[in-house]
Amino acid sequence: MSHIFPRHTKSLPPVAVGGEGCYLIDASGKRYLDASGGAAVSCLGHGDRTVIDAVKAQLDTLAYAHTGFFTSEPAETLADLLISHAPGDLDRVYLVSGGSEAMESALKLARQYFVEKGEPDRGRIIARKQSYHGNTMGALSAGGNAWRRAQFGPLLIEMSHIDPCYEYRLKRDDETPEEYGLRAANLLEEEILRVGPETVMAFAAEPVVGATAGAVPPAPGYFKRIREICDKYGILLILDEVMCGMGRTGTLFACEQDGVAPDILCIAKGLGAGYQPIGAMLCSRQIYETIENGSGFFQHGHTYLGHPTAAAAGVAVVNSMLDRGLIGQVQTQGAKLMAALRDRFGQHAHVGDIRGRGLFQGVELVADRESKEPFPPARKIAAKIKAAAFEAGLICYPMSGTIDGQRGDHVLLAPPFIISDDQIGELVDKLSGAVETALQN
C-alpha cells in the first residue's frame, strides 16, 4: 500500500532503482531504453559521473543559502556560463526550480516591466494553440492545449491563442514553406490589431513545439517575421525553450537556428539533466535595467531560487555538453535517428509525418495518409503505443490530441545525447513493434 499520490491512480508504475547511460532499470532488473529522456530531461543519460561528483562536492561545501540573504558561487557561475552563450541581448538569469516556474517568472516580469516603463495598459499575452508552457496557473493560461486547460477554465487568466505554425497540417498545397511561415506569423499581427496593440505585452511560443504537438519545428522565416511584428508594436518576445533548449535541437539555444533572439527566454529540463530540478528565465539587459532603474525589485520569488546544489548541477551539465562536444553529437545522431525513422516509417500506411530537429523528433500517426485523417480518439493509439513500448523496454513519449487537444496522435522522441548507433537501431525496432501492437488493438 503506497501513500504516494501517483499520476494515475489506476495503474501503478514499477519502481525505478537504477540508471546506466541510456537505460533505466526497475526493481525486477528489467532495462528500458530511455528514448525520451523522461520528458526530454535526461540529455546526458543516467549515472553521469561528472555531474554526480559536482553535485556531491557542492553538498559538501554548501547545500543551500536563501537568495534573500546571499548569492552563491555556483549560481553566479551558471549565470555567467549561460549568458556567455545566450543569443542577442540576454544578460540576466533568474534561477528557478523547473519549467513552469520559469514561465511564471517570465509572464510576471513582462508585466512588471511594462508597469515600470509607464505602459500599465499592456497586460495581454498572446500565445499559440497546441503549445504547452507548464501546469501552474499562469503557464497553463498561456498554454493552448484544450484538453489540459478544459476543467481549469474558470481559474485561468484570459489570453489570446493564435494558430500554431504547423506545416504538416496547416500549410496549403499552393504555398511554399516560406509563404506559409509568413502567413502563420502574420496571424500574430492580426491578433495584435484585433485586441489593440497598446494592450499587448508579450507573445509567448516554443521554438520547436514539444509535448503537445510532437517536435513541430517552425516553417522557414516564421520567427524572423514574429520578431519583426513584436518590434513593430513594442511587444516582448518570450521563447519557451524548456523542452527544446539546452542542446536538444543541435544548438545550445533552439532559437539560434531561427536567427532570432527573444527578450525573455525560459529553459529547464536539460539544464539539470535530471540530476537536480532546475530552470531559468533569462532576460534582456533592457528589461533588467528598467527594473534596476525603477523599483529595483522584481516582485516575485521562491524559496529555492538560485539553489546552489541545483546550480552546481547546471554548471556541470552545460560544461559537459560543451566540453565533450555533445551538441555536435546531437546533430550527427539526430540525423541518424531521422534517417532510421524515415527508413522504417517513411512509407508506413499510418505514419503521416516524421519531423523535428536534432535529437528532438516526432512521428505523427494517421488513419489515412492521403487525407491525413487522424484515428478516432476512442482508439487511444498514443496510450497503446506507450504501453506496448514500455512492455518491450522502450520509454518514449506518445500523446494524443496532437491537432486540437482531442484529435491526433504522435510519439515524441528525445533520447540522451550519448545515444549510440546500435541504440538508435534498438529504439526504432522497439518503436516499430509498439506501433504495430497498438494498431492491432
- Which residues of the shown chain bind ligand PLP in the complex (CB under 6 A)? 39, 98-100, 103, 132-134, 206, 210-211, 240, 242-243, 268
Quote the least distance from Cβ 425 to ligand PLP, whole Å.
28
Shorter beta-carbon distance to ligand PLP: residue 115 or 255 = 255
8 A C-beta contact, residue 166 and residue 130: yes
Quote the least distance from Cβ 268 to ligand PLP, whole Å.
5
Quote the least distance from Cβ 407 to ligand PLP, whole Å.
21
List, in sequence order, every residue forming a beta bridge with 92; answer none if it has no partner: 283
Quote the least distance from Cβ 310 to ligand PLP, whole Å.
12
Shorter beta-carbon distance to ligand PLP: residue 204 or 439 = 204
Look at residue 202 and give its three-state secondary structure. Answer: strand
Burial group, residue 46, by CB count within 10 angstroms (0-12, 13-18, 19+)? buried
Quote the least distance from Cβ 344 to ligand PLP, whole Å.
26
Cell of 24: 533505466
Cell of 259: 536567427
The residue of the chain with the least Cβ separation from ligand PLP equals 99
Quote the least distance from Cβ 98 to ligand PLP, whole Å.
3
Describe the crossing of helices 308-323 and 326-345 by its angle, rounded to 10 degrees.
70
Shorter beta-carbon distance to ligand PLP: residue 237 or 291 = 237
Shorter beta-carbon distance to ligand PLP: residue 88 or 210 = 210
C-alpha closest to that of 269 among 61, 92, 97: 97
Describe the crossing of helices 421-440 and 381-391 by its angle, rounded to 10 degrees.
130
8 A C-beta contact, residue 369 and residue 349: yes
8 A C-beta contact, residue 373 and residue 390: no
Shorter beta-carbon distance to ligand PLP: residue 100 or 251 = 100
Shorter beta-carbon distance to ligand PLP: residue 183 or 357 = 357
Question: CA 315 → CA 20, 80, 308, 311, distances in Å?
Answer: 21, 10, 10, 6
